[in-house]
Structure 1
Amino acid sequence: MDFQLTSEQQLLQDSVRRYVDKAYGFEARTALLHSGRNGSAANWQLFAENGWLMAALPEEYGGLGGTLEDSVIIAQELGRGLVLEPYLGCAVLAAQTLVAAGSPAQQAALLPQLADGSYRLALAYSEPASRGMPDIVALRAERSGDSFLLHGTKSLVLGAVDAQAFIVSARIDGTAGISLLLVDGDSAGLTRQALPLHDGSWVEELTFAGVRVSADALLGEAGQGLGALRAGLANGTLVLCAELIGAMEKTLEVTAEYLKVRKQFGVPISAFQALQHRMADMAAELELARSMLHAALASLANDAEPARLKTLSAAKMLIGRAAKVVCGQGIQLHGGIGMTEEYLVGHYYKRAVVAELLLGSSDTHEALCAAALQVELGV
């Protein structure tokens, strides 16, 4: 797999970076955080106008026909600015699950609206007991004539704030396997509770108390939704990993600049060999994480499902832990100022802590890797 950017991808990367550098400085982001919103509608519309929301959607439904690599490029640059708008939750997780599961009619009805930013769709798959794993689903869909009644709870729904609808994973009574259904956000019996995360982003917890949805809300065939759900989550996991790599890059740059201007004993502390060694360790962690992301992209494109799932879990585990190390060291090298809310570097660590737990924690994915390795070795 060639990991050199094409000329079009380079232009895409440059456009997102220019936006982040110009419009998403620390003061602008802080103002959004204090407003209590999950980003701004104006920024989301700008994402749509620049083609970032449609980059990896099929051309026949209003997209640009790009690939996961395009989403990764966008997410890496957004991660450098700790962008709050729900690119991961709405433009990747939900959109790619719809691409994998939806019928042509369902895609034609919804994907153009996702592409132009006029409609937001979120993926509600995680539950309190699932630890981010897609195959653990307790939410029930009870058949009632030509419709379904939903009962249960979904937690940590990314991009749910301001979403008009949800893709919900459920078990239909009398049907084996997991099904996916479209649910309007204002359905009777649906309770939405917005919850802030440690990094300032927001999620929702959804409670379904007899929410009625029609039979045509079913995405794909009943009981056959796990494959599509895993496809959407694979895209989302690598996009989250790319976001963390962008955060590590920016942490390294900010820390290196600080070491050049901070002085002790009349000299910049960047001259101290011990601090140079720590910076070198941070850079090595970043490059290992970047290589792991490339390996996961290659595996997703070329390997059979067992190998893809193992490599994906390895990437989530390694990159999540690397981000906590690099961003944590950034705080350490800044000293006391790095601990304050009024300084940039601590916010990267907060994002790393939250992201390490999203879509399955590093410990959960490490256990999945170990189980896959035991199967390979016949242990």
Structure 2
Amino acid sequence: MNFSLSTEQQMLQDSVRRFIDRHYDFAARSAMLDGTGINAGWRRFAEQGWLCAALPEAHGGLGGSIIDSVLIAQELGRGLALEPFTGSAVLAAQTLLAAAAPEHHAEWMPGLADGSRKLALAYSEAHTRGLIDGQSTQAERVAGGYRLNGRKTLVLGGLQADALIVSAQTQEGCSLFLVDASVAGLRVRAIPLHDDTWVAEVTLEQVLVADRALLGAPGSGLDALRQGLAHGTASLCAELVGGMQRAIEISAEYLKVRQQFGVPIGSFQALQHRMADMAAELELSRSALYLLLEAIENPALHDLPLRVSQTKALVGRAAKFVCGQAIQLHGGIGTTEECSVGHYFKRAVVADQLLGSSAQHEALCASHLQARWK
């Protein structure tokens, strides 16, 4: 795998970082927490071309790859962006690409590319906790369509979505359906998270959808979900890598100016060791993310579900460690709302629970290794 960015990719990363530095500093983010600026932020994302970076050119996208999505997500992670980029622009969009027929692409991709329409993926349930196995939402075949019943949790971007991609069990197995957010019987409840972001809980009671709402063939949903979740996990881990890097930078600056006994505390060897440990965890996380990107780009050479679990487990734990250490280096001030490092830690804690926790993915890795060694 070539680890060097192309000229276009470097320009993309630089443009996102400039935007974050100029328009999305910590003060600006704090002012957006009432939710009034999120839609405006999404429109600006669309104007910059970030929402369509990895969408096909045939439908208004720029024809990029997962690497483009990761570069954007990493810089958004540095700024603790509140907009559901990973949930809507990556996770839902890539699941639609993997699952849908051409008519669905033609109907939805242009709107996703220009930001005028939003999708969200509703697959997680309370007992599955972000994993795809064991889903209980049912889709019963009826005349002219399907009847859906079930409840979905932790739907990223679900509050702003125009439609939801819902996973449900049919006679053929797991299937995906494109469900309008305003359809009768569908209820969306806002759930606040610890890091000041919001997700949706979606309840479906006797929701009727037409045959054309089915994405792909009946029973083909798992493969599309795995592909979408691979992209979504890479984007979420990139956010955490960006957040870790920024937390280390903030901590390094603080150690230079905070003094005790007449000298900067950064001169204390014990604190230097902490910074070295944080930097090591960051580089391990970055390397794991590179391996996942390689697996997504070349799935024939890798066991993609294993790479997803390995990356999510490692990066999730590393982000909590790095951002937790950043708080420790700041002392008591690091726990206040006015200090940004505490918000990076809260984001790391929440992100670790999204798309399957590090503990769950570690268990999946262990099961995979046990099966291989039998």
Q: Which residue of 1 aligns with 2:86?
A: 88
2:38 is matched with: 40
Identify the residue that residue 288 of structure 1 maps to in structure 2: 284
Give 2:21's aligned residue. Answer: 21
Aligned partner of residue 209 in structure 1, secondary structure: strand
Aligned to 1:71: 69
Please list, as runs of the form range in 1=range in 2, the aligned pairs for 1:1-379 lying within 5 A after superposition. 1-33=1-33, 35-36=34-35, 40-172=38-170, 175-304=171-300, 307-378=303-374
> Residue type matched to 1:268 in 2?
P
Letter in structure 2 aligned against 1:369: C
Query: Number of aligned pairs?
Result: 374
Letter in 2 for 1:331: I
TM-score (norm 1): 0.97
Q: Residue 301 of structure 1: CA displacement?
A: 2.3
The letter for the 2-side match of 1:328 is G
Q: Partners in 2 of 1:148 and 1:221 — Cα distance? A: 14
- Aligned 8 A contact 2:159 2:188 in 1: no
Name the aligned partner's letter for residue 43 of structure 1: G
Q: Which runs of 5+ in 1 are unaligned?
A: none
| CA drift at 1:300 | 2.3
- Answer yes or no: is the 8 Å Cα contact 2:230–2:304 preserved in 1: no
SS at the partner of 2:147? strand
Equivalent-residue separation in structure 2 for 1:310 and 1:143 (angstroms): 34
- Unmatched runs of 5 consecutive residues or more in structure 2: none
Q: Which amino acid aligns with 2:356?
A: G
Distance 2:4 2:168 in 1: 40
Distance in 2 (alpha carbons) for counterparts of 1:306 and 1:85 = 32
Tell me, in whole angstroms, the C-alpha distance in 2 between the residues paired with 1:135 and 1:336: 42
1: CA distance, partners of 2:162 / 2:315: 32
Counterpart residue identity of residue 199, structure 1: D
Q: Deviations over 1:176-201 (max 9, x none)?
A: 31000000101111111001000000
Q: Is the 8 A contact 2:137 2:167 kept in 1?
A: yes
Q: Distance in 1 between matches of 2:259 and 2:117?
A: 51
Letter in 2 for 1:163: A
Q: How far apart, CA to CA, are the structure 2 residues paired with 1:299 and 1:122?
A: 24
**Aligned residue identity for 1:370:** A
Answer yes or no: is the 8 Å Cα contact 1:321–1:362 preserved in 2. yes
Query: How far did residue 36 of structure 1 move?
Result: 4.0
- Percent identity of paired positions between Structure 1 and Structure 2: 60
Q: Take 2:363 and 2:266, find their aligned partners in 1: how far apart are those partners?
A: 40
* Counterpart contact for 2:175–2:222, Cα < 8 Å: yes
Separation of aligned partners in 2, 1:303 and 1:376: 19
Partners of 1:103 and 1:118 lie apart in 2 by 21
Large movers: runs of 4+ above 3 Å: 303-306
Letter in 1 for 2:179: V
The answer on whether the counterparts of 2:178 and 2:214 sit within 8 Å (CA) in structure 1 is: yes
- Aligned amino acid, residue 13 of structure 1: Q
Question: Following TM superposition, by how much is the alpha carbon of 1:304 offset from its aligned partner in structure 2, in angstroms?
Answer: 3.8
